[in-house]
Each structure stands twice: as structure tokens, then as C-alpha cells.
Amino acid sequence: MEDHIKKELEENPALEEGREADDNLEVEPDDETATKNEDTDFDFEDYFDDDDTPGYKLNANNYSADSEQNDMPVGAGVSFHEHLLEQLRLQQLSPDDRFLAEYIIGNIDDDGYLQRSPEDISDDILFQTSKSVEPQKILEILKIIQDFDPAGVGARNLQECLLLQIERRMKNEELRMKNDKEKILHSSFFILHSYFDEFSKRHYEKIIKKLNIDENIFKKSIVEITKLNPKPGNTWSDLWEKKTTEITPDFILENINGELVLSLFNGDIPELHINKTYSEMLQNFSESKNRSREAKDAVLFVKQKLDSAKNFIEAVKQRQNTLLATMNAIVRLQKDYFLTGDSAQLKPMVMRDVAEATGFDISTISRACSGRYVECDFGIFPLKHFFTEAAQTENGEEVSTREIKNILSEYINKENKKQPLTDDTLSAMLKEKGFIVARRTVAKYREQLGIPVARLRKSPL
């Protein structure tokens, strides 16, 4: 953001940094000046004849009030979701298709997966915008996103994620593939496509028999598959985190006598105002009777620079307002946690909750939270830390899935490695504790924690 403002200050002489005594961002003359010049009857449009054509375009370096939705700068590096949005900007899409693509990207999690079904996304859009979008259309846009980097992004499950990566490798290698390489990649594809369940259970002999392939090719195929990335988004985030050697929080949250006070940390981002000389210059043109070509070009130049400066200042302010509104909503929804620092106080909260609290789209909330941090009394945390799904107790009360995951981690850390706990056993143990969590949900939480299945945790000793 600092670099973005610095560049604009260098390119637009009508924009200045620092606080102005009369910080008026409006270019229009004040009431007193307007009264004084009523007889001049000046109108910018009237300054030109119908056949006058400016010698340059008026839209250079121009910003609109809503441009922050398409270009929300970050402090350092490019986060995973911003990387996807940058690739989206290179696509030739209609406004409706671009909206759908941004919405889908906003729903892709940090691992790179789209956890919501096309039907759910269709319902969300209908609820929020009253627009009806067929699930098939959402799938078409998803296919475009699945061609983005990193390979595997936008997958709806692990199998699809790995298949997307193999297909990408096959496409990249097809012009220079040798016989063995071609066989290995095709074998890898069929293993994942048709025998994924057997592969995940390591029933290798069964796969070799069904595929009727050479054992050496099969072994090389397994090696090829193990090179694939099960969490493509995580890898990008890790690289981005490494580039950011020091975390600078975007927000400061203070607990002052039980009252939470939030402020936006702007660092070295300067205050901005309009250059009065340029504003006065335009006013002088309005009083002048000179209608020469040179005067007209001068009016165009000054007007363009003033509009650009004014819109840039407005865009920066809107960006700040969007960030503050988003963080304020998170603070309200997770007030008990921010007052105590106790992770057990984290309530179930998803992007949609914050979107409803602010009136913004989920995609806007996703961009506002991506790669941003808040400093509070008990540490600095990424905003994604505060988002967690809901689970239910036997009494019907909602609890944060983060609490469930913490309990699962404790159970597995203390288990007998000679007889590790299965997902069914873990589900039963959680039920004893009052949490109703199905076996398949336990499996999902375990995978999100990066913990392998019981048979892979078993110690051979």
C-alpha cells in the first residue's frame, strides 16, 4: 500500500501527502466562491465544442470508488487468494461471470479447496443478491479457476486435487514425453481416477492386477503421485509467510478497562490531500475568457489530475473503512474471546457471518481478511484464526470446531501407538464427552489437523 501511494504521489502532482489545515477533498468551489462567480456561468462541458477531441485520454491513472474490491493492496508479498484474483484479472469474462469467479475464489479455503457445493453457492448468491445462478454455470466458472496456479486449486476433494495436478503434468509433458514417462503419467491418472479407494488403503497388488500393468511402472507411478501436493494453497501460503520476515499487524485491539478499542495500523502510510494550487488553477480557468486550444488542453490536464487525486483518496478511505468494518464485526462476534484470550471462548463463525454483519459480499470479506493480522493483549494473530465452523453438543448447544479439534489432538497424542484410535473410536469418545460428531466428520477434522489415519500411526515396535 505504501508503494502504491508513493507511485501515485510521484505520478500525480495534484495529490499531496500530509494533513491540510482545511482538509477539504471536494474540488468544487465553496459557497462563497460559487456566489462570486455566478455571472461567469462556467461549465466544464461547455468549454469545448462538440467536435473538440482532447489530445490525450482522461482515464489514465483513474480510480473509481469501488476499485478497492478489485485491487486491495497488502503490506508485503501476495497472499494465496490475491494470487488467484491476479490470475482472474487476465481472463476475458463478462461482468456476471467475473462476479461468480470472485465469489468462488472467496469460498476457496487456505488449503486450496472449494468446500461448498455448486448448489450451496447458488443458494448463497440467490439469498444475497436475488440473482438465480444455475449450479452448472458455477461448475463452468470453477473449471476456469482450476486452470490457475497452483495446480490443484479449486478441487472439491483430495481425489480431484491430485487428478488436476496429474492432468496438468500430462498436458505440460505431452510434447516431450518418452514412452516410459507417458506410461507412468497415464498409469498415475488411472490409479487416482478409477482406484483411488484402493490406493488410499494401499491395496497395491489389487490395483496392479486390475490395471494389468508392469510392476516397475506401477512403482514409478506411486512415486509420481507422492510428488503431488495434497494442499496446494498451504504451500503458497508457506512461501508467502517465509517472504514476510516480520509480521506487521494491520489492526491494534486494546482492552481498556473491559472495553475493546480497535484501530487500524497504517504504519508509514501518509495522509493525503488535494494540491490547492491545482484546485485554484481550475477555478482560474473558469474565470478566464481564453478559449484557445492550449487553454482547453490545460483545463483537460488539470481536471483529469484533480479527479484522479480525488478518486484515489476516496479509494484509500474506502479501503480503510472496509477493513475496519470487517474487523469490528469479527470483534463483536468474538467479543468473549478477545476479552479473555481463552480459545474455548471462540464461537463458531464463518465468512458468511461477517458478510451478513457488514453487508459486504463474502468475496470482499475473504480479501479483507486474507494475509492480515491483528495485535491484541495476548499476541498477534491472522484474521483466519478466528473463523471456525460449528459442532453440536448433546444439549443442542453450538461449540467451535476448534475446541473439538483440540480434544481430538489430545486423544491422539496420548493414544497407545501400538493400537492407535480409529475414527469410530474417536467419535465414540467425543460422544462420551457430550459432543455429537460423526465418524466422517472426525475424519475430516483429523485430515485438517494433518494427522494420518490410524493404520499409518501404528508403531511397528
Whole-number Å distance between alpha carbons of 149 and 174: 19
In a domain, 419, yes or no: yes
Q: What is the pLDDT of residue 217?
A: 86
Residue 90 domain-assigned (yes or no): yes
Which domain, by its residues, includes 197?
158-228
Domain boundary among 195, 228, 261: 228
Domain presence at residue 124: yes
Residues (pLDDT < 50) of the chain are 22-77, 175-177, 242-245, 461
Stated as kind and residue range, the H or E segment containing 3 is helix 2-11
* Residue 400 within a domain: yes
Domain count, the chain: 3
| Cis amide linkage into residue 13, ω under 30° from 0 | no
The model's pTM: 0.43
User: What is the predicted pLDDT for the residue at 164?
Assistant: 93
Query: Does the residue 198 lie in any domain?
Result: yes
Q: Is there a domain that residue 25 lies in?
A: no
Q: How far apart are the two ends of the chain, measured CA to CA in Å?
A: 55
* Listed residue (298, 351, 346, 294) closest to 326, CA to CA: 351
d(CA 353, CA 390): 12
Q: Are 384 and 369 in contact (CB under 8 A)?
A: yes
What are the CB-based long-range contacts (under 8 Å, 24+) for 90-97?
A: 91/144, 93/144, 97/141
CATH number at residue 424: 1.10.10.60
DSSP 69: G
Do 76 and 140 fall within a single domain? Answer: yes
| pLDDT at residue number 362 | 83
pLDDT score recorded for residue 398:
56
Predicted local distance difference test score (pLDDT) of residue 407: 86
Inside any domain, residue 307:
no
How far apart CA 353 and CA 60 sit, in angstroms, is 38
* Residues 75 and 138 grouped into a single domain: yes
Domain boundary among 228, 244, 265: 228
**228, 248, 263 — which closes off a domain?**
228
Q: What is the pLDDT of residue 145?
A: 93
CATH number at residue 137: 1.10.10
165 lies in the same domain as 214: yes
- The pLDDT score that the predictor gives to residue 156 is 92
Q: Which three cell numbers stand for residue 54?
A: 482532447
Q: Is 166 exposed, middle or buried (0-12, 13-18, 19+ CB in 10 A)?
A: buried
Q: Which residue has the cell 508503494?
A: 3
Question: Has residue 414 been placed in a domain?
Answer: yes
Q: Specify whether 192 is located in the same domain as 217.
A: yes
**pLDDT score at 57:** 26
pLDDT of residue 60: 30
